[in-house]
Structure 1
């Protein structure tokens, strides 16, 4: 028996999937309005009329479609007046299994919040025409640099396994305050848990679940350039660890204190760049390295004298 495929992306955006929860609604429209109270009835009617809500066989559903608990419904997210991110990504490598992209600051990897079409994934699907693209890992919207994508569903799981098994070496560069009292290279370990607000992380006492190796590349009077190698992959790990050492990464809006950025403000990007990815290819057995010198000119990692 063949596996069902999700409906194809539209304008680079893959559909979201909802398994209809228990409820007594007569129609699909009533159920969607109840499940997504932030989306108006008029918006759902418009999506249904334009074929943006599909059944598990890819058929367009209508407002009078009966509500059936457990049915899979696929819908395409849309954001009115979605802001354009005025920076471009670069494709550094593409083959039958992998794509390596150099992401600019401020561009999300996948849809999140008000960013739906303006994401790295959507842009790459539109550019390559490959609806099977899937990111094998993610970096923060504020962080620039390398992201590895699977281009082939048949080999995806083989490459995905490299990350939880720690068989891939990731190196970042950051500009942060000087730490003259610390001996380098330095290893920082801590226990990280969700913080407040929900999108921040914090360190607490207990068994460490995060580890970062830190070295100094260049020393200035006030600012140093650091090489950061995350051994684990906790959310915001590098940012939290540097802030905990007393050297928060330059222009960080979250650590050590929360500073809100106005919509459309692309000034003062976070001075953190994913510089290189290195691993032994699980299919060919040969060593592979992306980035390093290849990505060095694609971002302004900050200068010691800039404000």
Structure 2
């Protein structure tokens, strides 16, 4: 459903579904209860200013009856943000596709306390392209390759590549060496059932159910302290790689979710999650040519030779 409001400062308007029936006499009464943490007078003033609109762009009055509109749009008031001090690097740009190297700590899209501090908003503002949209996503904690569509006309063709699992994705991770020094026999394919429940920050694993996630895990290297693995996910479940390595006793360094959920703390920029989206391969749906993109970043804790570029 297209928004009747244009993108502003790189951020699109928020769409809200309004019940067509219920105990609220007006649309504004519903929103006052829905957003109970905000000042009611402030919300009503937004209606009076015409800040809340319906699908044709017309303002919704504060006394508009419940059931008169089903969807409303408005701009969120941006929260105070402290700039995340790492930049997105553009690796490729053409008329249809943008490929970037995302740093750790930067979310793919705006949400919660991160609006201007998201890859999408930064890139929209940098390139002056309000049509820019992510084709897939990376966790905020994960660094590496991220693809965006630059125009709606060809967006669906690239989105179908991911939906049909026609993109080969390769990741790297660094984990602490188990205390006994023993590793699972690698390479191996790990499968389990992963379910994301609404309102929970971690996914749920159910070993009694048919697996819906699969990752090929290979050994890249190790030393006396860490293990460096190459990960080839066949599916794309939320937190899949973090869950699979943790299940093998190889929880990723600086992971605050798995194997244990740690207390929420401010970002420690000196301890980025050691997970990197390293490579993307696919046949371009428009040209038919093979496309390969590789990150320029490296995991700082990897026991690799040479002098890799630090990721943070």
Q: Distance in 2 between matches of 1:12 and 1:164?
A: 26
SS in 2 for 1:149: strand
Alignment equivalent of 1:229, drawn from 225, 228, 232: 232
Residue in 1 aligned with 2:8? 10
- 1:244 correspondence with 2:247: yes
Residue in 1 aligned with 2:269? 266
Alignment equivalent of 2:221, drawn from 218, 221, 233: 218
CA contact under 8 A between 2:3 and 2:73: conserved in structure 1?
A: no
Matches within 5 A, 1:20-39: 20-21=18-19, 22-23=21-22, 25-39=24-38
Residue in 1 aligned with 2:118? 119
Deviation, structure 1 residue 150: 1.2
Deviations along 1:200-248, one digit per CA (max 9) or x if unpaired, are 1232222110000111222212202111111100010000000000000
- 1:135 correspondence with 2:137: no
Q: Distance in 1 between matches of 2:211 and 2:264?
A: 31
CA contact under 8 A between 2:46 and 2:52: conserved in structure 1?
A: yes
Deviation, structure 1 residue 130: 1.4
Deviations along 1:157-208, one digit per CA (max 9) or x if unpaired, are 1111111211001111111134744332211111122479711123222211
Deviations along 1:109-142, one digit per CA (max 9) or x if unpaired, are 1122222232111111111121111111111111
CA contact under 8 A between 2:101 and 2:144: conserved in structure 1?
A: yes
Q: Distance in 2 between matches of 1:59 and 1:199?
A: 37
Q: Distance in 2 between matches of 1:196 and 1:256?
A: 20
TM-score w.r.t. length of structure 1: 0.88
CA contact under 8 A between 1:239 and 1:255: conserved in structure 2?
A: yes
Deviation, structure 1 residue 279: 0.3
Residue in 2 aligned with 1:190? 192
Matches within 5 A, 1:166-177: 166-177=165-176
Gap regions ≥5 residues in structure 1: none
Deviation, structure 1 residue 252: 0.3
Q: Distance in 2 between matches of 1:226 and 1:177?
A: 11
Gap regions ≥5 residues in structure 2: 305-312
SS in 2 for 1:170: strand
Q: Quick one: structure 1 residues 52 and 111, their matched pair in 2 at CA, closer, same or farther if it must change by over 3 Å?
A: farther
Matches within 5 A, 1:70-149: 70-149=69-148
TM-score w.r.t. length of structure 2: 0.86
SS in 2 for 1:241: helix
SS in 1 for 2:90: strand
Point out 4+ residue stretches in structure 1 off by more than 6 angstroms. none
